[in-house]
Amino acid sequence: MSDAAPVLPAAVRRARMLEHIQAQGFARVAELSALFGVSEVTVRADLESLAVQRVHGGAVAAQRTENAFEQSLLDASDEKLRIGAAAAALVESGQAVILDVGTTTTAVAAAMLDRTDLRDVVVITNALNIAMLLEAAIPRFTVVVTGGTLRPLQHSLVDPLAGAVLEHIRADLAFIGCSGVDVVAGITNINLPEADVKRRMLATAARSIVVADSGKLGVAQLSRVAPLADVDALITVAEADAAALRAAGLEVIPA
């Protein structure tokens, strides 16, 4: 082991280890041991917790594929319902609310729809399925669709023209979905086009809240949306798994 290697908290070390493997495509256990100043036994334990493929003597980056919206609906569905209810509870009548694309933000939309006390809420979304879901709330809600080019896999609207509406509004709240929330990598997404829209949503909201089930915590994906410092809070059910995020200064709201 290298005497010069800094001693890092486990969560930070694993995040950086994952970034290193993804950047290189392959890393040997001995190499990671020297790089991070920990034993090979510790490295092997770290690799077991990461989204990598173990091979003899090391690990390779796991293949990453984007699930279709309908497939993702089946993942952590109970968690998403709880997150949706916790998020919807933060909304007040008369507010403008951005709802990002995704299955968890769809749960937020459904929970908002169930709140019959809400009035005069403006919802801005780039998700066609969310716009259609909230049609039942009109005229209590005003639903604004961002426009843009349709991505059928997620029923999302992206560039070109996805930011035309976002450039002219100021929202009270933005609920942002993602593919990963990590201490080092921050908020990340598996595809680039939607990540660009998420960044614009964050920029136009007075308060931005990430909604993520437990499977997203500690995960770093391809496209960086924002560092943790650029979001105001995270809503999740996995409080224990979010301890490192809270320690890094991110407010964690339990669902």
Contact 59, 52 (CB under 8 A): yes
Predicted local confidence at residue 222, as pLDDT: 75
Domain ranges across the chain: 10-61, 69-254
pTM of the model: 0.75
| Alpha helix (H) residue ranges in 61-119 | 69-72, 77-88, 103-114
How many other CB atoms sit within 10 Å of the CB of residue 89? Answer: 14
**Residue 66, burial from CB neighbour count under 10 angstroms (0-12, 13-18, 19+):** middle
Predicted local confidence at residue 140, as pLDDT: 97
Whole-angstrom distance, CA of residue 6 vs CA of residue 9: 10
Classified by CATH at the fold level, domain 10-61 comes out as Arc Repressor Mutant, subunit A (1.10.10)
Whole-angstrom distance, CA of residue 32 vs CA of residue 8: 13
Q: What is the pLDDT of residues 232-245, one digit of tens each?
A: 999 999 777 788 89
Q: What is the pLDDT of residues 11-37, one digit of tens each?
A: 788 878 887 887 776 788 999 999 999
- Could you say which residues of the chain have pLDDT below 50? 1-2
Given the candidates 3.90.45.10, 3.40.710.10, 3.50.30.30, 3.40.50.1360, the CATH classification of the domain at 69-254 is: 3.40.50.1360
Predicted local confidence at residue 238, as pLDDT: 79
Residue found by looking up tokens 């003899």 in the block: 56
